[in-house]
Amino acid sequence: MKTLLVELGARRYPIHIGAGLLGDAGLLAAQVPGRHALIVSDGNVAPHYLARVEAALLEKNIRSLVLPPGEQEKNLARFADVIAELAALGASRDVTVLALGGGVVGDLAGFAAACWMRGVRFVQLPTTLLAMVDSSVGGKTAVDLPAGKNLVGAFHQPAAVIADTDTLATLPLRELRAGLAEVVKYGAIADADFFKWLEDHADALLARDANVIAEAIAVSCRQKAGVVVRDETEQGERMLLNFGHTFGHAIETEQGYGGLLHGEAIAVGMVLAARLSAHLGRAPVADSERLQALLLRFGLPVTIPPGLSADALFARMRLDKKSLSGALRLILWRGLGQAEVVRDVPEADILAVLS
């Protein structure tokens, strides 16, 4: 097991990464210091892994809520379901909410934990690659609205993250690929050596080589934890983690959250952001091509899905959370390993890349 720390002072917490961690009853039981807990999971994850988590918490008063899977379920109605379950449990301030699943379950359960009695203890048990490398770390919790992704949410850090890499064995290949998009993001925005390492280990990652995947998760979490410690509430540097996201979120929203997976949309978004940067003369065209080539090697989409108009996507981009006073702020880059926040990108240039 590798353990990293997110050094947030009194709210510092560990990220444990390793094989078989959900079978470590002692580790799981230690996450619930109070008398009761709510486990939130989804219908794809629960049949594989819920029983082990419940077995570890036998001494506690626990309830489990299994939600239907999918991004379309990350909404206010499901948030209300989690809150109702906490009420049924008679949850008091010493309750622990455990999120067992991917980023959808983590964001939703985390938001409920942030709101219940103005904030209770919350532990992330990520079971997708995307959740292990990104969404379980850093305390962003939210639900989507028809108007936009993650528009209602809170910053609420977990008390611990336990990433059992064995759970990736049951993850559908398409979901593994989607998680790799966020791994590529870390190389693209801040670590050209890691990007090269990903190129060299692409086949091993796709083959789910345990050591290589664990290394990719650890490098990603280390990078994310560093950014979160320096800029927890996204006043500056943390915005860079949204490379590709303004474009990607626009695609997801425009598709009604039922089209591309989040990681797939981010892959397309990163290629668009890179292409825009090259178009504006800020980044080498060759780097943008290298980014696209690695994403293609991971089996990820790199073009806007058919049927989405440039004008509609641009209108969605305006509602991005990084916009200030109606002005769009985009994460562009200077080439591999270097991202930057850019304001006032001419609308015509954005529309040119979207067309």
The answer to the question of residue 138 lying near ligand GLY (CB under 6 A) is: yes
User: How near is the Cβ of 224 to ligand GLY at its closest, in Å?
Assistant: 7
- Residue 238 binding result from ligand NAD, ligand GLY, none, given CB thresholds of 5 to 8 Å by partner type: ligand GLY
- Residue 212 binding result from ligand NAD, ligand GLY, none, given CB thresholds of 5 to 8 Å by partner type: none
Active site residues: 118, 140, 182, 224, 234, 238, 242, 245, 249, 262
The answer to the question of residue 244 lying near ligand NAD (CB under 6 A) is: no
| Between 208 and 279, CB nearer to ligand NAD | 208
Tell me how far apart the terminal alpha carbons of the chain are, to the nearest angstrom: 47
How far is residue 184's CA from residue 82's CA, in Å, rounded to a whole number?
33
The answer to the question of residue 242 lying near ligand GLY (CB under 6 A) is: yes
Q: Which two tokens stand for residue 169?
A: 């064995």
How far is residue 36's CA from residue 314's CA, in Å, rounded to a whole number?
46
Helices and strands, counts by H and E, the chain: 14, 11
The answer to the question of residue 222 lying near ligand GLY (CB under 6 A) is: no
- Residue 130 binding result from ligand NAD, ligand GLY, none, given CB thresholds of 5 to 8 Å by partner type: ligand NAD
107, 134, 164, 320: which one contacts ligand GLY (CB under 6 A)?
134
The answer to the question of residue 31 lying near ligand GLY (CB under 6 A) is: no
Specify burial of residue 259 (Cβ count, 10 A radius: 0-12, 13-18, 19+): middle
Tell me the HSE value of 247 on the side-chain side, using a 13 A CA sphere.
29
Query: In terms of DSSP H, where are the helices of the chain?
Result: 25-29, 46-56, 76-89, 103-115, 129-130, 173-190, 192-200, 202-206, 210-230, 245-254, 262-279, 285-297, 310-317, 347-354
| Region of 3-11, 71-79, 132-140, 150-158 interacting with ligand GLY (CB under 6 A) | 132-140
The answer to the question of residue 263 lying near ligand NAD (CB under 6 A) is: yes
The answer to the question of residue 215 lying near ligand GLY (CB under 6 A) is: no
How far is residue 224's CA from residue 4's CA, in Å, rounded to a whole number?
11
Asked if 34 contacts 159 with a C-beta cutoff of 8 angstroms, the reply is no
| Between 235 and 325, CB nearer to ligand GLY | 235
The answer to the question of residue 74 lying near ligand GLY (CB under 6 A) is: no
Neighbours of 132 (CB within 10 A): 33
- Residue 288 binding result from ligand NAD, ligand GLY, none, given CB thresholds of 5 to 8 Å by partner type: none
| Region of 13-21, 127-135, 304-312, 315-323 interacting with ligand NAD (CB under 6 A) | 127-135
How far is residue 187's CA from residue 163's CA, in Å, rounded to a whole number?
21
The answer to the question of residue 78 lying near ligand NAD (CB under 6 A) is: no
| Between 290 and 321, CB nearer to ligand GLY | 321
The answer to the question of residue 188 lying near ligand GLY (CB under 6 A) is: no
- Residue 14 binding result from ligand NAD, ligand GLY, none, given CB thresholds of 5 to 8 Å by partner type: none
Q: Which of 114, 108, 106 is nearest to 80 (CA)?
A: 108
Among left, alpha and beta (phi > 0; psi -120 to 50; other), residue 157 is beta
Residues near ligand NAD (CB under 6 A): 42, 44-45, 48, 69-71, 74, 101-105, 107, 127-128, 130-131, 134-135, 138, 140, 149-150, 167, 170-171, 175, 178, 262-263
